[in-house]
Chain A
């Protein structure tokens, strides 16, 4: 059982079973077992990923990744949509931490400001407006919980095995990955003038895309107003 194939397959199955038991199915029976199985799967998976080579970096990364993934799973499985939205917010904070960890400082800030600050608050606003009493009967039963849990987790398992090159470790890759050196990174993506370089790139090479996004914002604004106004005249 020490073969990585077997461990990853077991992880996938445990994760699918755990997600199924955690999803709302009309009864609360088995949720604890589901949480236990999903945690075991997460631990097994974490034991299989390659190490970064530095215990401090490893522990920071693992804490951030666990925060992100666990909160995302909670956001998907909680019955009360209010709690779903709040767990999603925590998952966003974990994502922002992961962005910081890899040197994407502006994106980390933008994720917190735009996603957690604007989009999530709008969600909560609509939720409070539409469903102020919290849980509804349709939040307690899902469509085809087992099928979707197995589908999602099998996709994750296959992707992880491909990423970890478990399928064919003996066959050399067509284009071997050449990691960048520290000097190259320090002059490029990890430069101290991060935001200046990013802004230069955004308003230089991608200027037309920025203009197009501005038009897209205008169209979305007009469209949203039109949808809501149309409803009023009905």
Chain B
């Protein structure tokens, strides 16, 4: 059996790290989907802490809370994706800066700075699978019976 207090401390620190990383992403990223992923990372951090406390107190209550977190996260994902799709249909972009009209009254406008176009900054293409296998042989008999093939 591992040292229980050390286990609790380690899990709480990992949970705090996940929470902080998710918060950084939520505050700084502009893509709505990535903001949502960051939110889910924060929820993961909380879940890890709850499971650690559940073990330390020898009680299923923490694990129950995590089950409800997962359920609520599923609802939240459905609603948020519906909203994101609606916003995307209005503007054609997933950028939250497009919706800064909704900011508070005394907040400054976010000014888009021109992106420096460097050659290193060019898009790297997504990886493709190498083509494999051979073209299947279709007999003439079959094409005669099924001309649509």
Contacts and interface: CB of A to CB of B under 8 A. Distances in A.
Interface in B21-74: 21-25, 27-31, 33-34, 36-38, 40-41, 44, 47-48, 51-52, 54-60, 63-64, 66-68, 70-74
Given A19-B24, A138-B31, A148-B28, A227 B86 contact: yes
B28 A52 contact: no
Given A119-B74, A213-B71, A26 B115 contact: yes
A217 B75 contact: yes
B121 A27 contact: yes
Contacts of A73: 21
Given A115-B40, A138-B97, A143 B110 contact: yes
B55 A103 contact: yes
Q: How large is the interface on A (under 10, 10 to 19, 20 to 34, 35 or more residues)?
A: 35 or more
Given A57-B2, A136-B93, A137-B115, A75 B25 contact: yes
A184 B1 CA distance: 12
15 contacts: A50-B5, A50-B6, A73-B21, A76-B41, A84-B34, A104-B51, A118-B74, A119-B74, A159-B16, A177-B5, A185-B55, A213-B72, A216-B71, A217-B71, A228-B86
Pairs A-B, 10 closest by C-beta atoms: A76-B25, A179-B4, A156-B20, A148-B27, A220-B75, A152-B24, A52-B2, A50-B6, A159-B16, A142-B28
